[in-house]
Each structure stands twice: as C-alpha cells, then as structure tokens.
A and B are shown apart, each in its own frame.
Chain A
Amino acid sequence: MADHNLPGALAGIRVVELAGEASAYAGLMLAGMGAEVIVAEPPEGHHSRGFEPFLDDEPGPERSLWWWHYNASKVGVTLDLGDDDGREQFRSLVGTADVVLESERPGRLADLGIDHDTLRADHPELIWVSLTPFGRSGPRAQEESIDLTVLAAGGPVWSCGYDDHAIPPQRGGGNQGYQTGSIFAVLSAQTALLARDRTGQGQFVDVSLHAAANVTTEFASVQWLVAGDEVQRQTGRHAAVEPTTFTRALSADGIDVNTGFPPRSARDFAVVVEWMESLGLKDQFEEFFFLEMGTQLEEDLHLSQIGQDPEVTAMFGAAREAVRFIAQNITAHEFFIGAQERGLAVGIIYSPEEVLADPHFQERGFPVEVEHEDLGRSFTYVGAPYIAPKSPYQVRHRAPHLGEHNSILEALT
C-alpha cells in the first residue's frame, strides 16, 4: 500500500474547475492525483448540491452525497461570472492556474469575455480542457444533453439490455456517459502537461462526451467499421452479431453470478468433476457421465463442433449445466472463490456497496475513511483506481462547503 504522507503525481499543479455535472469526475481524479483543484461555483452554489442522495435524506447545500463524492479532495470558491467583479476574479484565478477545466455551454465564456481565446495571450503556458456534449463546434454543438442522451446517441445504450427486444435497451447506471468524458478529459490534461514539459506551451483541448461514448463501445463500432455487421443486445453478455449462450446463474443465496466460458479442456472437465464430487452433488447431476467423458479429451472442444458432433454437443451442454448447477447449490461467494481457486474465470455480480465489504478490496486499501469534522463523523468512500507507491492517488479530504476557500480569491487582489 502507498505511503499516504507522500504528495501525488500532480503536486504543485493548480487546476481551476468551473463546477459542472460532466466534468466533476475529471476534477475529482486530478485532485486524487495530487493537483490543487479549485472548484468554482456561483454564489448560490452549484445546482449539483441539490442532487440526491442526501445525508439522512434531508436536502441542504452541504448534504448532497453526489456533491460529496465528486468534489472530494477539492477546495471551493464562489464566483459570480455574471458580474464584472466575478469575471475579474476568474481572470486573476486563471492567471495562477496550470489547467482550466470547464463544461460550459459552447459560446457562454466567449460571450462573457473569459474564454481561452481571450485569455491565452496573457497565459501561453495555460492548458484549457473543455468538456461538452458534442464538442465546441460541430453541427450538434448546441443540442440539449444529459448523461442518458449521451449514452443513447453515442452507442452504449444500443448494446445493453435483454434478449427480449420488446424491453427497451438499458443505460448502465452511475452517470457513465459523463464519467467516460471525464476520463478522457483527465487523459487530455495529463497529455498536455507532458507536452508542456517539452515545449513550455499550453494549449486548448476540446473533449466531446458524444465522441467519448462513440469510441468506447468495443465491438459495436469495430464490427461495423471493419465488417459492416450490426451487433444485437443480449441479457448480461456481449451484444453480438450471432447469438451466444446464456452465462448467468442464480446462486443459492439469491445473488447472480457470471459463469464465464464453459469448460472445454480435459483439465477444466476434471476440475468440474472434482468440484461436484467434493460438494456431494455428483449423484444429483444426471449428465455426470458426459463430464467424465470430457476428462478424457485429447484436444480442447471447439465451439464450432456444437450441433455438429453429438458427443461434443453433449459434453459442452453438460459442462455448462454442471457449472450452473454448482452455482445454484452454493452461495455466490462460495461459487466465485471455488471456481477461481480452480482456475475457472467466473464473476460474482456485486452491488456497489458489496464491493467495499469484500476482503480483497479491503486488503488493497480500496475503501477509505474520509473525515467530516464538521459533522464529527467519518464516512467510507471509494478509493484509488491504482496503487502508485511513490506518488499515491488519494481521496485527500471531504468536499468543500460553499465558499469555504474564498480566501484564495482574496489573496489574489
């Protein structure tokens, strides 16, 4: 585990972030890497302070858990970009920044005279990362957009859902359209910082949420680009051109598991036979004979043999059913551990809160306690995406109260 007294990789880098729904996660990550991220809100507070869930379900500007999560590790100031003083404060603040991060509607900052084009002459070393639904120009740049429509228009939704296509396709949870754009905003800031190391020059980066969704759909795009084939959504597995077999089972404690690829080598069959015997399930499984047959295979089964060779088809079917049968008879966690310890790649379908309770994530130090001294309590947050021992990623402190660090602005004048 990392030494938490060390500075992060971006220590000494100042980021000015105009509070925004889509960019909040980018600011969070830059702050996690050690940058000083100053999130600037309007004097009445950014509207995301009104987002659910709330501490004890009571709304209040300092009670939004959405705000808490996405603005942890940042410091906060209030600025009114609608008046001259506020804009002047913004200009002064930008003058001290390495990176500006914003997700304002294209044109707004130009109208206010505080966009990159206006400010760059005085700050040639400044890096400015803009994150907008469709990019700054482009024919759709002024469309109304939220996470749901980003994911619908950008491709991810088409690939997610159920075998039954009378059911609408599904948007994955957790504002992943915004977060995907934010991840590319972080990569952009880092890339521009590395470029600046060499050239001394900053630059403008135009990041598009819609483009980000479009290039993170794996097969859906590549299959179309390369072969002109359209993938179709399937319950709990990859959208595909040709249907694939079901990979889910409901374990004895009511938690779904992903059963992975069915066994196809003699070794895999031997593992399943041994596992069934050790659980005392052998006599309850009618096709056990075909599993034993599988242990004698000299070559791995190949998917193309299914439906062609009756014995292979029977072995394949028995193997898939055997894994599902085991899952149905033990808890999901027992199934996950039992399979993985035997070298079979399967997954347990955790809900988000269950991840933090798992011993693996705990041993890696993934859940972290964040002090809320204002409440006299601390709470468990999600932690770092990677462990960097010399320049740790950390959740540094709770999100700022409204205007909590306005002294930063006073120091500028």
Chain B
Amino acid sequence: MKSEALSHIRICDFTGQLAGAGATRWMAAFGAEIIRVEDPARLGKWDVLRGTSPFVDERRGHEFGGCFNNHNVEKLGITLNLRTDKGKELLAELIAECDAVTENFAAGVLERLGFGYERLREIKPDILYVSNCGFGHAGPYRKYKTWGPIVQACCGLTFTSGLPDMPSAGWGYSYMDHHGGNFMAMAIMAGLIHRSRTGEGQWIDMSCTDAGATMLGPAVLDYTVNGRPLRRDGMPYSNRSQFPAMAPHGIYEADGHDAWLALAARDERDWQAIAELMGIDDRRFADLAGRLAHEDDLDDAVRAWTSKRDRFDAAAELQAIGVPAAGVAKPVDRVDNDANTEAWGLWPTVTHGEMGRVRVDGIPAHFSDTDWVLERGGPLLGQHNRQIIGGLLGYSDAELTDLAAEGVI
C-alpha cells in the first residue's frame, strides 16, 4: 500500500545525509517514486550514513547504518557508476523519465559528474533541478564546506541558544539538517507546482544557511528597526521569553537525576494560578514589569516549588490549573511512554532488507484522504536495479547481468 498524494511524481535523487535525504523522505512517505542513485564502486558511501551508527546489532557495513535507513524509508535504490560512459547513458535515460533531479552535493559536484543544469535541460527541457548545499551555488562562500553545526553557526541559530556570559549552547543536533531537508522539500514541491501550472522547469538554488536565517526574523528586525543587536550584555537568555515577554518562563530543576520542568505564565491569569499553587506571595511580582525586573528572584521562588517534585507530576498539577507546563522529555519518555505519540502512530516500524523490522521517525501530519505510509526500509545498494533499469528503462535481465559484470551498476 502506498499513499496516493504524490504518486504521480518521480524523482531522480542524489541526496544524502539528512539535509538532502530528509527532503525526498517526506515525498516518499506520500507516495512519490524517489529513485536514489548510488555509486556501486564506492558502495554508496557518498552518503556516509550508509555505514555509520547507530546499529541494530553487531553487524557493520554499508547496509547497516541506522540513520540511513531512517532517512531513506520508502525510497528505491539503484546503482550507476558515473565514471563509465554506459553509466552516464543510463542516467540520461533515467532523467528523461523523471520530473525532477535533486541533490545536496557540495556546489559543483553534479556538474563535474557531467550533469549540470544545462545538460539536464538537454535531456529533458522541463526538468526541475533542485540543488541544496550549505551556502548555495551563488555567492562568495559557495565552495565552503558545511554540515549541520556549521550551518547553524553561520546563520545565527547557534548563537540564540544559551545563557548570558556563557558560550552559546547551540543546538545539540543538526537542527538545520532536518530543516535543510524540509526547506528543500518545500523548494521541490514549489517547483513542481509551478511546473504543473506553466510547464516550465527551473534550477532552484537552495542554501541551508539562507533557510536557517529565515528562522530568526523578529530578532533581526529588532536590530534593523530599533538598532538593538542580540549580541549584547545579558543576552541571549533563551529559556526566558523575550518575544513576547513572559515571566516566569523557564526550565526548572525537578526532583530526580537530570530532571527538569518547563513552565510559563502567558498572562496575569496564569501567573495568579501559579503563585497560588506554589504559595508565592511577593509584591515585587505583582505585575509583569515587576516579575521581569526581579526575574532571578522569581525563578528562585519557582524553583523552590519545582525542585521537590517529580517533573511529570508537577506538570500535571500545573496543567490542571490551566498553566502550560511539561516535563523535559528524555527519549524513552516520548518514544516509549507517551500516550500521544503512540496514538499518533509516530514511530512506525519498517522492514529493511538486512536489518529487518526497525522503528523510524513518522510524519507529524495526518491527511484525511491520502495519508502517509511508511512500511519499507531504506533501499539496499542496487536493490531496485531490476525494477528501474529493467522495468522502467527496458533493459533485459541478460543486459543487467552484463552491466553488473562491466561495473556499470
């Protein structure tokens, strides 16, 4: 069973890692035919995640990368050695059957492989080509190398996370690999919508650092309009809320090892409920201006209550009086012990050709008519050569055998 939402779309996909593979992952979940093209000579290792941890068991190698499986569910995989003329010929035949070509190589790599935009257009005049790299294909930094943390540093996101007078804490994962992929999916679908309306293809140049920098708009305007930079004394203080101002607003110690509780007062009603529950009676905290002026003391008063309580019990007490609160969830809490993620079906199990049944990230949207389906794991290297090079491009089994013997596939 597949989703029918995007079943009319076929993509020749060179994406890898998460920043690229995440884009076509969304589309595969909604039924698009995503054909990953991998290099047989290097065992597909232009995506290093093919062979890196986490692993389901003691087995290692290019079929056992846990992240690769997660990021490439429901995609097809073929092998083409683009150092060979025949490999290039097959790729051209494949592109002629596709709506879009997608990649997140360093800038210029696909062109060096002989498949720059001009060549793609020769093969298929209305092709949509979406490239995605850290700094895009134009601008002085286009050749610079990045991965998630470098992107996050250069677009301002790293700086926004942390405490005053401390190095920035940054993001403890490649936040912009997720959203690099998501913005790329957005660019691909925007290009497909334009193409379906006008018949026109194009080359969309996606830059992860541009995408990341769109995510800090109010802070930027505070500078360009009011002249107030975020790099200033006392900032950032990211567990507190500046836009809009709220107090209390923070992550507070709870009872237990590395246990924390997030809570906030959105307005005076919330505050009065919190003050009553916690027994805080201090006229300095009577209004928001006072609470902001004495925020350290306010946080101490809140902490005196939270630190004696289990984070989830405390969150439930606060929710019961209408106050937003949540225990800081560890992976086990939200993956295995959260009734809502379970009801959502957020961790579906897919079947991978070598790893067997593995749980993966689901999709955070449910469609009433053409919902996503995640059942098939990431492709083994060349797993769908017969289906695609045979079925779609029309090569016989004997020809496929020869192509394999010649090192083309």
Contact = CB atoms under 8 A, between A and B. Distances in A.
Contacts of A175: 243
B368 A225 contact: no
Interface string A310-349: 0000000000000000000000000010001001111111
Sort A-B residue pairs by CB-CB distance and give the 7 closest, nearest first.
Answer: A173-B160, A347-B153, A211-B364, A152-B262, A159-B172, A353-B223, A69-B217
B172 A239 contact: yes
Interface stretch (B163-171, B275-283, B396-404): B163-171
Interface string A382-397: 1111111111010000
Interface stretch (B33-41, B89-97, B333-341, B384-392): B333-341
Nearest to B196: A197
Contacts of A218: 18, 148, 173-175, 177-178
Contact of A353 (B141, B229, B358, B364): B229
B109 to A, nearest CB: 14
B154 A348 contact: yes
A345 B138 CA distance: 18
A247 B205 CA distance: 30
Interface in A210-225: 210-212, 214-225
A160 B170 contact: yes
A406 interface: no
Contacts of A382: 213-214, 216-217, 220
Interface string A105-116: 000000000000
Given A148-B250, A226-B56, A383-B210, 7 more contacts: A69-B221, A148-B249, A156-B173, A160-B170, A233-B172, A239-B173, A350-B159
A248 interface: yes
Interface string B188-208: 011111101110111111110
A85 to B, nearest CB: 28
Given A52-B245, A172-B238, A351 B229 contact: yes
Interface in A231-256: 231, 233-239, 247-248, 250, 256
Interface stretch (A87-95, A280-288, A301-309, A356-364): A356-364
A270 interface: no
A265 interface: no
B150 A260 contact: yes
A153 B141 CA distance: 37
B331 A181 contact: no
Contact of A204 (B54, B216, B368): B368
A140 to B, nearest CB: 4
Given A174-B157, A205-B365, A194 B189 contact: yes
A170 B162 contact: yes
Contacts of B170: 160, 172, 235-237, 349
Contact of B340 (A51, A139, A387): A139
Contact of A170 (B163, B198, B261, B366): B163
Contact of B222 (A65, A184, A223, A381): A65
B327 A364 contact: no
Given A169-B328, A223-B54, A161 B250 contact: no
6 contacts: A69-B217, A155-B329, A205-B368, A206-B365, A212-B364, A388-B204
Contacts of A187: 26, 182, 185-186, 189, 365
B359 A225 contact: yes
Nearest to A166: B253
A222 B17 CA distance: 14
A179 B219 CA distance: 14
Nearest to B262: A152
B216 A50 contact: no
Contacts of A361: 139, 209-210, 213
B253 A168 contact: yes
Interface stretch (A38-46, A75-83, A130-138, A291-299): A130-138
B122 to A, nearest CB: 18
B140 A226 contact: no
B179 interface: yes
B317 interface: no
Contacts of B149: 236-238, 247, 258, 347
A234 B172 contact: yes
Interface in B130-163: 135-136, 138-141, 143-163
Contact of A227 (B53, B163, B211): B53
Interface residues of A, number: 152
A170 B238 contact: yes
Contacts of A193: 193
Contacts of B179: 180, 183, 216
A165 B251 CA distance: 13
A203 B370 CA distance: 8
Contact of B331 (A10, A220, A247, A359): A220
A211 B370 contact: no
Nearest to B270: A144
B363 interface: yes
A403 to B, nearest CB: 22
B328 A386 contact: no
A342 to B, nearest CB: 11
Contacts of A359: 140
A389 to B, nearest CB: 6
A66 B330 contact: no
A101 interface: no
B354 to A, nearest CB: 13
A146 B157 contact: no
A96 interface: no
B175 A354 contact: no
Contacts of B225: 53, 55, 65, 68, 379
Nearest to A50: B244
A260 B146 CA distance: 9
A209 to B, nearest CB: 8
Interface string B222-247: 11111011110000101101111100
B262 A149 contact: yes
B67 A222 contact: yes
B5 A160 contact: no
B232 to A, nearest CB: 9
A216 B197 CA distance: 32
A157 interface: yes
B196 A146 contact: no
A203 B244 CA distance: 34
B304 interface: no
B141 A194 contact: no
Contacts of A146: 264, 266, 324
B322 interface: yes
Given A66-B218, A352-B213, A361-B213, A215 B362 contact: yes
B260 interface: yes
A208 B155 contact: no
A321 to B, nearest CB: 18
